[in-house]
Amino acid sequence: MEKTNFIDYIRVFCRSGNGGAGCRHFMRTKFNPQAGPDGGDGGRGAHIILKGNQQLWTLLHLRYHKNILAENGEGGSGNNSTGKNGKDIIIEVPLGTIARDEQSGVQEAEILEDGQEIVWLSGGRGGLGNASFATPTNQAPEYAQPGEKGSEAWKTLELKVLADVGLVGLPNAGKSTLLSVITAAKPKIANYAFTTLTPQLGIVEYRNGQSFCVADLPGIIEGAAEGKGLGHRFLRHIERNSILLFLLPADSPDHKKEFEILLQELKEYNPDMQQKDFVIAISKSDMLDDELKAAISAELPVHIPHIFISSLTNKGLSELKDLLWKTLNK
């Protein structure tokens, strides 16, 4: 089985720190044995914080962190000394990470920018010392607050790849070959279905130092929206792509039907995907003459731009880059 460093789903138990207890204490001095209350407040329990890091592309570094347990705050002490706060735990995650509560499935945070920080689980507040309860009518309170409990729960982190262009097609349509030709990425390429098991990213160098990101996604099969093939495991990565580039091989027996299968699976998974910009590329077109190209063009939707390309001969690749760049910046 192929080993991969790409991890896009993590389940982890998290517990933020408890707040420290407030202190019940009275000042005693040589000349004033009843100087009054001076119990300090407890320290805050440690937060668990998510932070975006654009250098990360996988959740692999969290794979073996099954328990994330934050420090408790220290208790207050005499002389109005406040307890030390617990040290916050900062979890660095790739951009495009979504945090959820496992039990409810509710989305709690989404990291989209480098350096973005979100407090995922808040630490408990420190309790008030008895000095905080002193009033003109109660100058010697005999009580202090306990610290607030932190929170704990099973949580999930889910990564949705952020890319400008997503390559969509049936298995073995030539997506990985195209990515290896137009970018410096080196995906695994072989003549069998589901060669690509995880998303592969590559940067297309365009004119004047400009560039855009392309994601090679595992192939879609009919029924993917119900979980067949790699199912939901990869369909979620398509949600974040600005443009979907449908790759249809020239030797397909029915280009229209193949495109409709892909479109239907995306629609069933998330109807909002139909609002994205679509581009169709007919791969392996070096084997086509003008008559066959015209016949294929007649099968395709008129409102979606299409282009004939060949990763083997580099035919049409410059025009494809131009079309994608124009669509991205329209």
- The per-residue pLDDT string of the chain (330 residues; one tens digit each, 9 = 90 and over) reads 344 566 778 899 999 999 999 999 988 777 776 778 999 999 999 999 999 998 887 888 888 888 999 999 999 998 889 999 999 999 999 888 999 999 998 999 999 899 999 999 999 999 999 998 988 888 889 899 999 999 999 999 988 776 788 888 877 777 778 888 887 655 444 433 334 456 677 788 888 878 888 887 766 654 444 444 444 556 667 777 888 899 888 888 888 888 888 888 788 877 877 888 899 999 888 878 888 889 888 888 889 999 998 888 888 889 988 998 888 887
Whole-angstrom distance, CA of residue 213 vs CA of residue 58: 16
- For 231-261, the pLDDT digits (tens) are 455 666 777 788 889 988 888 888 888 888 8
What is the per-residue pLDDT for 272? 78
What is the per-residue pLDDT for 216? 79
Burial of 77 (0-12, 13-18, 19+ CB in 10 A): middle
What are the residues whose beta carbons fall under 8 Å from the beta carbon of 143, sequence distance 6 or more? 24, 130, 133
DSSP state of 315: B
Specify the CATH number of the domain 9-159. 2.70.210.12
The enclosing H or E element of 269 equals helix 255-269
Rg (CA), the chain: 29
What is the per-residue pLDDT for 224? 41
The tokens for 18 are 């408890």
Whole-angstrom distance, CA of residue 25 vs CA of residue 5: 55
Whole-angstrom distance, CA of residue 292 vs CA of residue 55: 45
Question: Considering the entire predicted model, what is its pTM?
Answer: 0.67
Alpha carbon dihedral 106, 112, 117, 119, in 10-degree steps, equals 0
Distance spanning both ends of the chain, measured CA to CA? 43
Listed in order, the ranges of the chain carrying CATH 3.40.50.300 are 165-328
CATH fold, domain 165-328, is Rossmann fold (3.40.50)
Listed in order, the ranges of the chain carrying CATH 2.70.210.12 are 9-159
Task: Count Cα atoms within 13 angstroms, Cβ side, for 198.
Answer: 15
The tokens for 40 are 């300090």
What is the per-residue pLDDT for 59? 85
Q: Phi and psi (nearest 5°) for 92?
A: -85, 130
